[in-house]
Structure 1
Amino acid sequence: MPIEPNGPTEWSPTRSRRSQPRRVTVVPGGPVLIEGPVELQLDDGTTVVSDRFQVAVCACRRSRNYPFCDASHRRKRR
């Protein structure tokens, strides 16, 4: 049974078990904040898991802890 875009949905293992959608906040010049827990699949195929209640995902790729943000975006550019 296909999932209808604006209609009722059926639970499946690939969908979130939460009844509410996850909140994703894009911080201008900063990270992408995602309500956790999350499972991130990287471009090289590896999967990274975090069980924190909120996860900051690096958007600038400067983080030494990529894909998670370590506030490296705050460093001044010269």
Structure 2
Amino acid sequence: MEHPGSEPSVVITPYPDGPLLVRGAFLLRAPDGTPIEPGRSTIALCRCGMSAIKPFCDGTHKVTGFRAASGRDPGPEPAGVDAPPV
């Protein structure tokens, strides 16, 4: 959560039909905790799952027809929460 008057240390931008662009001071780790060296301060993380250089994006989403919005995916309602009437 961002605090009033402070700059976020990391900014993540989901691009429409593309990767997550990560800018700022971040750490990238494998599930076992091993650091993954990004090689730069701005990276693109794969969202389509088809990249040959995961977790980084290699542009494969363009040829596979991957589609994703740039905003929050509403997804299913959490358990125990009633959906609003239609």
User: What residue number does 1:20 align with?
Assistant: 7
Gaps of 5+ in 2: 66-86
User: Which moved further from structure 2: 25-34 or 45-54?
Assistant: 45-54
Q: Is the 8 A contact 2:20 2:45 kept in 1?
A: yes
Q: What TM-score, normalized to structure 2?
A: 0.56
> What is the aligned residue count?
62
- Given candidates 29, 33, 52, the residue that maps to 1:64 is 52
Give the aligned partner of residue 39 of structure 1: 27
Q: CA deviation at 1:28?
A: 1.9
More strand by proportion, 1 or 2? 1
Q: Work out the CA distance in 1 between the residues paired with 2:11 and 2:63.
A: 27
What percentage of aligned pairs have identical amino acids?
35
Cα offset, 1:44, TM superposition: 4.9
Letter in 1 for 2:11: R
Name segments (4+ residues, structure 1) moved above 4 Å.
none
Q: Which has the higher contact order (CA 8 A, sep 6+)?
A: 2
Give RMSD over aligned pairs.
2.5
* Cα distance change, pair 29–43 in 1 and its aligned pair in 2 (3 A): farther
Contact 1:34 1:57 in 2 (8 A): yes
CA–CA distance in structure 1, aligned partners of residues 36 and 58 of structure 2: 16
Q: What is the TM-score with the length of structure 1 in the denominator?
A: 0.61
Does structure 1 conserve the Cα–Cα contact (< 8 Å) formed by 2:11 and 2:24?
A: no
